Amino acid sequence: MAAAFCIAAFLISLYIAHFVYKWRNPKCNGLLPPGSMGWPLLGETLQFFAPTSTFDINPFVKQRMKRYGPIFKTSLVGRPVIVSADSDLNYFIFQQEGQSFQSWYPDTFTEIFGRQNVGSLHGFMYKYLKNMVLNLFGPEGLKRMLPEVEMAANRDLKRWSTQNSVELKDATASLIFDLTAKKLISYDPEKSSENLRKNFVAFIQGLISFPLNIPGTAYHKCLKGRKRAMKKLKAMLQERRANPRKQQSDFFDYVLQELDREDTLLTEGIALDLMFVLLFASFETTSLALTLAVKLLAENPSALKELTAEHEAIIRKRENPDSSLTWSEFKSMTFTFQVINETVRLANIVPGIFRKALKDIHFKGYTIPAGWAVMACPPAVHLNPSRYKDPLEFNPWRWQGIDMNGATRNFMAFGGGMRFCVGTDFTKLQMAVFLHCLVTKYKCQAISGGEILRTPGLQFPNGFFVQLSEKVQSGQEQQQCMI
């Protein structure tokens, strides 16, 4: 009996040792990049999600770059991953979409965004959905939205100026969510019996967290938030189908028209996942960027002074100073777009962009095996001192004379290739218009908070509280923000 037990224990130990060896030494038809696969199954997931309070490259990536170089292997949430902090490889990945690589995210992300979300679809279906979204966020759609964005910004800034302090991240998130939800689904928070944004707040808190789906965890709350939001969207879709409108008034109407076409590629599941992703993506990332922009401007008076001068000059050139922004005025905001580029460069709101290798890829002497995930790391590119002098400094002037209408090897805040974010111009429009309304009409004083935390996504754990007061002589008195 004892002998049998010893043999069984030996065989189990042998199996475990073999499993661990295979885990740490995966097969490859070539040379894998250096790196560690971490613990079996768990990999290096805990280190990846470890919080840090700096604008600098995530310590998980920075330490491994120093040890292994800009291309290394690891394992996250049970999957082997090649991490790329190499600008050439990142650019190659984006240019090879659908040929050598395709969009991929861990199963945990897919559970959150939906298995039929636009990021998980490929080929013709992805292009079909992208064209649908461009119907809303393309140039003509944005021209129609410009006065609505300005009106919403002026309305909320006016209201905030009557309060002792405002938590800017939550306030701008509410502003942008209400505006976007109105365009997408005609949602009016004052007339709705349910606060739709609350479901997305729960969703956001667990989006980039350790994927442990048990009650009490951020990830579990995230999934519950998605379930409630999807239930609300489905009920709205069914109500619209039962009571169709005579004229198209929002994006939901457009989606319903597509669903009712005989030759449609759209399904109800894809449509609902699309609406969910658009609602989330349109407000969360933009409100983070706006909050950070105001914080950085508050800390850099020379940048704030030049920004204010640009917008006051726009008003001085008008026949009627109180008239609304025009499209040509928006397009003339040169320094404003430099501020936006510099903000999103430092913000690195998306810490990693995932793809999957469709075949063995040979690059710079290394092999990326077919089926492996690849994570392009924008922060490592945006904070590279060989490309950006003093990369942790807020310096909008570094973008002077540079055309930044798309992605490059050294700038990928909005992705790249055929999956370059279709909402990029909408984000820039909202940020530019908000800053215009802010610096021409209000003084802004920081009260408290403003500390950042990365987990690895960007957060303001203590908020960022500011006090707004109307300018006595708008257009003449310079904006003054103090920490």
Reported as a single tens digit per residue, the pLDDT across 170-211 is: 999 999 988 888 888 887 777 665 677 776 766 665 665 566
Residue 86 lies in a domain: yes
Does position 125 have pLDDT exceeding 80, yes or no?
A: no
Chain-centroid distance, C-alpha 479: 29
Please state the rounded mean pLDDT for residues 326-354.
94
Q: Are 390 and 96 in contact (CB under 8 A)?
A: no
Neighbours of 10 (CB within 10 A): 10
What pLDDT does residue 475 have?
41
Q: Could you tell me if residue 20 is inside a domain? A: no
pLDDT-based confidence at residue 477 (cuts at 50, 70, 90):
very low
What is the Cα–Cα distance from 40 to 408, expressed in whole angstroms? 36
pLDDT tens for 18-59 read: 455 555 667 878 899 999 998 887 888 888 888 888 899 999
Average pLDDT over residues 71-83: 92
421 has binding-site annotation: yes
DSSP character for 49? Answer: T
State the residue for tokens 């069914």.
238
Question: Which residues have C-beta within 8 Å of that of residue 40, sequence separation ≥ 6?
Answer: 19, 20, 23
**Between residues 84 and 42, which one has the greater pLDDT?**
84
- CB atoms near residue 212 (< 10 Å): 12
Between 316 and 133, where is the model more confident? Answer: 316
What's phi and psi for 371, nearest 5 deg? 90, -15
Mean pLDDT of 349-362: 91
Segment 117-132 mean pLDDT: 63
3-state helix, strand, coil in the chain (%, to 5): 55, 10, 35
Q: Identify the CA nearest to 275 among candidates 107, 143, 114, 146.
A: 114
Domain-located, residue 225? no
**317 or 249, which is more confident:** 317
On whether residue 13 sits in a domain, the answer given is no
Let me know if residue 220 belongs to a domain: no
Q: Lowest-confidence range among 65-74, 146-155, 194-203, 370-379? A: 194-203
Single-letter code of the amino acid located at 115: R
Beta bridge partners of 442: 470
* CB 389 within 8 Å of CB 97: no
Distance CA 25, CA 164 (A): 59
| CATH number assigned to the domain comprising residue 448 | 1.10.630.10
Provide the number of structural domains found in the chain. Answer: 1
Confidence of residue 118 (pLDDT cuts 50, 70, 90): low
Taking alpha carbons only, the member of 189, 204, 193 closest to residue 282 is 204
Are 373 and 355 in contact by the 8 Å Cβ rule? The answer is yes
Question: Is the residue at 442 inside a domain?
Answer: yes
The answer to whether 380 touches 57, Cβ cutoff 8 Å, is yes
Q: 382-397 as b/e, with b when 16 or more CB fall inside 10 Å?
A: bbbeeebeebeebbbe
What is the pLDDT at residue 474? 42
Strand extents, DSSP E, 165-302: 166-167
Distances (CA, A) of 353 to 11, 348, 391, 408, 416: 41, 11, 21, 15, 10
Percent of the chain predicted with pLDDT > 70: 82
Highest-scoring range by mean pLDDT, 13-17, 223-227, 443-447:
443-447
Percentage of the residues of the chain whose pLDDT score is greater than 90: 45
Q: Is residue 4 part of a domain?
A: no
472 against 254, higher pLDDT: 254
> Which residue type is seen at 95?
Q
pLDDT computed for residue 369 by the predictor: 95
Rounded to two decimals, the pTM is 0.87
SS3 443: strand
pLDDT surpasses 90 at 383: yes
Rounded to 5°, the CA angle 168-172-175 comes to 145
310 vs 440: CA distance, rounded Å? 10
Tell me which residue range forms the domain holding 315: 53-189+285-470
* Residue-level length of the chain: 483
Average pLDDT, the chain: 84
**Residue 257: pLDDT band with limits 50, 70, 90:** confident
Flag whether 373 is in a domain: yes
